[in-house]
Structure 1
Amino acid sequence: MNKPHLLCLKLLLINAFVCTQAADNPTPLEWTTTQDHQNMMEQLGITELRPGRNGWAQAGEPNAANYDESQANPYPDLPELLVTLDGSPVATAHAWRTIRRPELIAAFESEVYGRIPQNVPEVDWRIEHSYENLTVDSIPAIAQRLAGVVDNSAYPEIDVSIDATLVLPQKMDKPAPVLIMFGWKPLEFPDDATTAFTLDGTPSRFNEDPPSFSQLIAAGWGIVYLIPTSYQADNGAGLTRGIIGLVNKGQPRQPDDWGALRAWGWGASRCLDYLETRPEVNVRQVGIEGVSRYGKAALVTHAFDERFAVGFIASSGAGGVALHRRNFGESTENLASSGAYHWFAGNYIKYATEKSRFGRMTPDNLPVDSHQLIALCAPRPTFVSYGIPENGDALWLDQQGSYMATVAASPAFALLGAQGLGETKDYRTAPLPPVNQDLLDGELAWRQHDGGHESQSNMKHFLRWAEKKMR
């Protein structure tokens, strides 16, 4: 072969290699939330969604959120909890484990929260800084800033790292239980690791309760303060970045891909992986906690990862404990809008559809509801917490619908040898218990405190209950 032909062959090979590399490593899309939401609607064949409810509008105004309990249950019949897809009753723990639980997992993954892909890369945990001159409410403690660096060798265009801080009492006579808490922003530490300082929290505005960190450390617990937005943004524009974007190589999701709630739960599970390497931690007593959207994430985490010993689910509202089928405050239509759809699998949008190639769908078409998600936590202790609207835990969260779901989940706990809520009435008629009344006898627990949109006011009750139940 002469030299010109050799040169052409080399150029062809180089071009083929470059094209292959480009196909394997496409440039991450820089879409807006609106563009990503529209793309998912096009994938699903949806041309019109029903608008979300307006929580600020007065009754009678256009599309005002409903707060009339007499109109709150347009779909009063929930999907069966202890009946399999073929209509067989689930009467044994074995049938729950081998048939019903897998059915529910599959439905929630396909239609609500999405599937975690098989090819999610490994996480390498590193201690970035250690702080040993620390007190938490005058109790000596140590803190370590952790970084969970995700292997991005398959797609170097996106870097992902999990930001978490481990705080432990300095004096322990045995491995400590630990509560992984979804946090809103990283903890602040002094630049000098040798400087003595106090890790302060915010006292409750409603009572004399100390900050949650203080209550936990005083009770001999450790804390992992996990920042979920460090590895997956809380918006639709971030779905081509973070851990979801890394796995998808910067490209859009498919309709059953995981959303942010599932991704945040994945990060909590990786924290639990790390805690399994720490001898100071009792890995059989690790819990998960979150408030508001992170309450949703905590419930999803607890339901899917059975290694978590206990869940503290605070003020989670729609998409968390509250029933999807309710028409009270925040609705499925709100969750399917461009402001919240990224929390869920793309398929969830279908249930707010007015016009599409498959017709109209409502929340009643959902194959599952939140009572079944709570049931996936059974028989492990699960504490459902709310505050009161007068102090900021708005009616928008639907405390009544959340109580109904908790009541409806109780039979699964009983089937598995645990104690449910203890409510004797059916979920359709069970009234919301009085504020500050303890329903803490069972592994499934409920308490509505007189504080606001926070978990701090229920922390002391949770700790007493959890230590009893985890024994």
Structure 2
Amino acid sequence: MMHYLKFTFVTTAILLVVASTIAAAEPADTNYDEKKVPPYELPKLLIDKAGQSVGRSEWDSHRRAEILHLFEESVYGKTPKRQLSVRYEVIDSDANAFNGRATRQQIAAFFGEKQYRIDILLYIPNKTKGPVPAFLGMNFYGNHTIHSDPKIIQRGKKKARGSFSKRWQAELIIDHGYALATIHRDQVDPDNYRNGFTDGIHPLFYANGQKKPKPDEWGSIGAWAWSLSRVLDYLETNKQVNASHVAVIGHSRLGKTALWAGAQDPRFAMVISNNSGCGGAALYRRCYGERIHHMFKPLGYWFCTNHRQYQKKEHELPVDQHMLLALIAPRPLYVASATADRWADPKGEFLAAKHASPVYDLFDTSSLSGHEMPKPDQPIHSTIGYHLRTGKHDMTAYDWRQYIKFANRFLKQE
């Protein structure tokens, strides 16, 4: 009898843990029913604060800046204007990576008086002439996880070496003539709030006595985006990389980051969002899948504190994500979704890209204006690219083949 009771207790405990995990992943009020998407009206892209219609010149002169400011105030927070001193130290350079097909470089970047360190991992193809275009993205669990290369410096032991190599496809990228640069998100700002904003780069910018960002100042996404621009700074000093042909890329929350980095920094020649969902490429006002209040309960530190006031009030936001995507125009933009990733709202991601099209049309580029949402695995490669991949929330070889093909058109102009 005691054995039975013990078994029952353990089994019940396991079920409760599983149930709580599922509930944490997908809260009870998550909507996956298109019939329950509320009626909504998107903020106007091409009507400025004064209520005037906007053309190409007005977009360049003030409307783009208006929208960027609204995102700073209500979503991601303001990025500090102050520049830190930086020192780069190449701590590893090996031309025999990937069986001689690539040169691996590892660069330590030291910022500010405190010499805050961020490690850059860079692979450059050997069989190319002149500076090469590049993909730049942030990784989740450490540079050593993107490939099994034993020479990659390992900082932290949370994940095994090469454990996310399928997500990165480093050798495929190299074999197509692109460099690949990456940094670890937690070196910039740890993806948790256990220590507040005290254990990442934020304190380097605090005023005297400040202990956390102000309500309209940057959260983690802002900090991560800042760091991607700092890696681009380094690439501009590397003669083997064509820094004017760099695509910034990210998956999931780091897809949100790539979009915000690309919106703020026009030096990025291309922006790629992979399954970025709410706060990324998906429309807030659809209230489908992940929503603001879902993110804020465990992950509010991603955004500025001001964003909190729009929980369950998405319709009151002065912006929506089609406006974020429009900030990237006229540069090439790629948005990707996955069929099983309802949490990220694939339809909302596509619609945001489609509703960003009027700004791309101002620049006479090929947009998604005339397109309907494609069937799975049928990519659209206009200046705004889109695909819906069969499968789950991930970044796969299929995704990378599309991004490389897209980049061939715009970064290599093949």
- TM-score, shorter chain, exceeding 0.5: yes
Q: 1:67 to 1:145 in 2, by over 3 A?
A: same
Structure (1 or 2) with the larger CA radius of gyration? 1
Residue of structure 1 equivalent to 2:354:
407
Matches within 5 A, 1:228-307: 228-236=185-193, 237-248=195-206, 251-307=211-267
Contact 2:141 2:185 in 1 (8 A): no
2:403 aligned with 1:462, yes or no?
A: yes
Q: Deviations over 1:169-216 (max 9, x none)?
A: 1222121001002112233354699xxxxx967676xxxxx9621221
TM-score, normalised to structure 2, is 0.85
**What letter matches 1:367 in structure 2?**
P
Q: Deviations over 1:244-279 (max 9, x none)?
A: 122126612110111111111111101111111111
Contact 1:108 1:114 in 2 (8 A): yes
2:128 aligned with 1:172, yes or no?
A: yes
Residue of structure 2 equivalent to 1:116:
79
2:383 aligned with 1:443, yes or no?
A: yes
2:217 aligned with 1:217, yes or no?
A: no
SS at match of 2:380: coil
| Aligned counterpart for 2:94 among listed residues 117, 131, 135 | 131
Contact 1:81 1:372 in 2 (8 A): yes
Residue of structure 2 equivalent to 1:378:
329
Q: CA deviation at 1:63?
A: 3.8
Contact 2:40 2:315 in 1 (8 A): no
| Stretch moving more, 237-246 or 218-227 | 237-246
Q: 1:369 to 1:379 in 2, by over 3 A?
A: same
**What letter matches 2:227 in structure 1?**
G
Q: Deviations over 1:56-93 (max 9, x none)?
A: 469xx994311110111x251000011101110112x2
Distance 2:386 2:220 in 1: 26
Distance 1:119 1:62 in 2: 40
Distance 1:288 1:94 in 2: 27
Contact 2:125 2:178 in 1 (8 A): yes
TM-score, normalised to structure 1, is 0.75
Q: 1:126 to 1:257 in 2, by over 3 A?
A: same
Task: Tell me which protein shows more helix as a share of its residues.
Answer: 2
Residue of structure 2 equivalent to 1:17:
none
Q: CA deviation at 1:145?
A: 1.3
Contact 1:139 1:217 in 2 (8 A): no
Q: 1:216 to 1:345 in 2, by over 3 A?
A: same
- Tell me, which stretches of 5 or more residues in structure 1 are unaligned? 1-53, 194-198, 205-209, 354-361, 425-429
Distance 2:293 2:134 in 1: 36
Q: CA deviation at 1:422?
A: 4.1
Contact 1:163 1:186 in 2 (8 A): no
Distance 1:371 1:201 in 2: 34
| Aligned counterpart for 2:108 among listed residues 129, 142, 147 | 147
Q: 1:148 to 1:398 in 2, by over 3 A?
A: same
Q: 1:443 to 1:187 in 2, by over 3 A?
A: same
Distance 2:301 2:203 in 1: 12
Q: 1:336 to 1:223 in 2, by over 3 A?
A: same
Distance 1:251 1:262 in 2: 17
| Identity within the alignment, % | 31
